[in-house]
Amino acid sequence: MESSESKRHDLMKKIKDEVVAIKGSALAQERIKNKVYPVIGEGSHFAKIMFVGEAPGKNEAETGKPFCGASGRILDELLASINLPRQSVYVTNIVKDRPTNNRDPLPDEIELYGPFLDRQIDIIQPKVIATLGRFSMVYIMKKFGLDFDLGPISQLHGKKFEANTSYGKVTVVPLYHPAVALYNGGTKGALMKDFQILKEFL
């Protein structure tokens, strides 16, 4: 793959255009009806660290930007704790349209939107994929053949798993979703500690 910014930008725009044009998804129909946006992702197309959440929430759908509400403020705080500028990472979700009432994404929705995430990973070629929450942890670990290591996020958060990709090695780091820290202070402490692991990749 060509590594120029313009090439990667064009490939990302193609993904956005395809997501916008989706017709067979109930989530896409809801998006059109509510006049909101799909959330493709945001950040550097050359990011060493890629954060993957599960799906957009209300604020994200209204703006088209990932992690821009209360959980986004937590993410910004976590990034600041390791002096990592948000614009130097890439932030996205598996599912690109908001599930109704912020419910968990359904298996068929993950199956529909997952290939777009796969292409984003191939474009950015991150050294680290930090998963935010249970759904993205399961998706990414299965994608990279780490099924054998899967377990509850309460046991796996903050651990490092090495995997091979088409472009080289990647480290997968499962993390709690920042939204959990909004109502569980202990989780925020764990997130702060887990984020220290990412410093070695800066």
What is the average per-residue pLDDT within 162-185? 93
Check residue 24 and give its pLDDT.
81
User: Which segments of 64-182 does DSSP mark as H helices, in order?
Assistant: 70-81, 107-124, 134-143, 153-156
What is the average per-residue pLDDT within 135-156? 96
Contact (CB, 8 A) for 146 and 163: yes
Confidence check: pLDDT of 185 > 80 = no
75-114 confidence digits (pLDDT tens): 999 999 999 999 999 999 999 999 988 899 999 999 999 9
Check residue 170 and give its pLDDT.
98
Q: Which domain holds residue 44?
A: 5-201
Contact (CB, 8 A) for 186 and 157: no
Number of helices (H) and strands (E) in the chain: give both, helices first.
Answer: 8, 6
What total of structural domains would you count in the chain?
A: 1
Residue 153: CATH number of its domain? 3.40.470.10
Query: If pLDDT is split at 50, 70 and 90, which confidence band does 63 have?
Result: very high
Confidence check: pLDDT of 1 > 60 = no
- Mean pLDDT over the full length of the chain: 94
What is the average per-residue pLDDT within 105-127? 97
Confidence check: pLDDT of 57 > 90 = yes
Given its phi and psi angles, is residue 164 left (phi above 0), alpha (psi -120 to 50 degrees) or beta?
A: beta
Check residue 184 and give its pLDDT.
83
Q: Is the dihedral of CA 5, 6, 7, 10 positive or negative?
A: positive
